Amino acid sequence: MKEEQRLSAALDAAAIRAGIALDPAQLLLVDRLAILSADIERRTLRRSTTQSLYIHGPAGRGKSWLADAFFVALPTARKTRVHFHRFFDDLHRSIQDHRSERDAVERAIDDLTGNSQLLFFDELHVHDSGDARLLTRLLEHVFRRKLTVLATSNYAPDDLLPDPIWHHIFEPGIDLIKNNMEVYELGGATDYRTTHEDHSTGFAAGVWARESPTPEPRPEEATNLAVRGRQFPVLAARPGELRATFAQLCGSPTSTIEYLAWARSFPRWVINDVPNFDDADAEAQQRFINLIDILVDADVCATFVSSHSLSSFLSIASRRPDAFRMASRLQLLRDSDDL
């Protein structure tokens, strides 16, 4: 069986096991991924160059699911899957390890990509000028090494780093994407996140509630969590459960470094006093968007306690152009108003 046929059959079988009926747009992407798999196989045999693939489209259209299934089905072991926030946290750590060396960034990228043929970058997005510069260095490095890159994103390349004040900083990175990757749009009218019905585990088992469904922490449970020498106050840190306010998590100078560390340590979170989105300043809004990304990727079961309904929160959040991914993900939650 040819590689294209094998890969297509593997993705079809994965969809059947997951109870998913692929729509016409998704089936076209399956065909394109099958071609990419065959190209990678030919490159292995002939050391030829494989065109990389950048898949973008609205949230919930199945980009990540199909790319994940492709990654699993790809026969080579020389492949690396990374998620934006976790990858950059690891990259910053590695740069620190090589800080005494002249080419610290290049060495750090080599550490993380190893001898991979394929780098799969899931949920690629850019909102920070510093990350934009670092991502540009990463793209320069991997394309110079002729790695195949597969990326999924809610953003077309020209829409990355959408803030007009900073957008110019990532224009070299955008050029690298457009010159080295086939840009493929996955459309479709259905946001499949909103049709998700399994609320038994992980993030989808969480709830948006007017009141906490469990007793509030006692005052003596208040504590500080230490991350890389810094202290962060929270309401409670119980075995397997973190309880904190929105202000503690997003209203103070926290970062994805802390969120990643806590997501690894606490499979359940309760976040109190979530305000309406426009009652938070722009930095707190961005931290909350980053937090939701990380909680979903880590499949943390989270309860959000707010005096505002989920529909009201989402209606206001939709006014921010880059909040659509967060809004789609929050719709995975059970809404206590509907229970």
| Banded pLDDT at 148 (limits 50, 70, 90) | very high
Mean pLDDT, residues 13-23: 89
Which segments of the chain does DSSP mark as H helices, in order?
Answer: 3-17, 24-46, 63-73, 84-97, 104-113, 129-144, 171-180, 246-250, 256-265, 282-297, 310-317, 324-330
- Strand segments, DSSP code E, in 44-88 are 52-56, 79-83
What pLDDT does 82 receive?
87
Tokens standing for residue 81: 């899957």
Query: Quick check: 211 and 236 in contact, CB under 8 A?
Result: no
What pLDDT does 195 receive?
63
Please give the distance of CA 194 from its chain centroid, rounded to a whole number: 18
Tokens standing for residue 186: 């996955």
Query: What's phi and psi for 86, nearest 5 deg?
Result: -65, -40
The CA distance from 131 to 49, in Å, is 28
User: Under 8 Å CB-to-CB from 255, ≥6 apart: which residues?
Assistant: 287
Q: Is the pLDDT of residue 196 over 90?
A: no
Q: Minimum mean pLDDT among 26-35, 47-56, 202-211, 263-272: which range?
A: 47-56
Question: pTM of the predicted model, to two decimals?
Answer: 0.83
Query: Quick check: 314 and 188 in contact, CB under 8 A?
Result: no
- Which of 125, 133, 122 has its CA nearest to residue 161? 125
Query: Quick check: 294 and 287 in contact, CB under 8 A?
Result: no
How do 148-153 and 118-122 pair as beta strands? Answer: parallel
What pLDDT does 191 receive?
66
What pLDDT does 197 receive?
57
Mean pLDDT, residues 224-237: 94
pLDDT for 290-301, tens place per residue? 999 999 989 999
Higher per-residue pLDDT: 47 or 176:
176
Q: Is the pLDDT of residue 11 over 60?
A: yes
What pLDDT does 100 receive?
85
User: Under 8 Å CB-to-CB from 12, ≥6 apart: which residues?
Assistant: 22, 30
| Banded pLDDT at 308 (limits 50, 70, 90) | very high
Higher per-residue pLDDT: 190 or 233:
233
| Banded pLDDT at 269 (limits 50, 70, 90) | very high
User: Under 8 Å CB-to-CB from 320, ≥6 apart: which residues?
Assistant: 277, 285
Q: Is the pLDDT of residue 187 over 60?
A: yes
Q: Is the pLDDT of residue 190 over 80?
A: no
> Could you give the residue range(s) of every CATH 3.40.50.300 domain in the chain?
3-192
From the CA atom positions of the chain, what is the Rg in Å? 21
| CATH of region 3-192 | 3.40.50.300
CB atoms < 10 A from the CB of 285, how many?
19
The CA distance from 243 to 221, in Å, is 10
Quick one: fold of 199-338?
Rossmann fold (3.40.50)
The CA distance from 231 to 240, in Å, is 19
Q: Which residues pair with 120 in a beta bridge?
A: 81, 150
Which segments of 47-83 does DSSP mark as H helices, in order?
Answer: 63-73
What's the chain's average pLDDT?
89
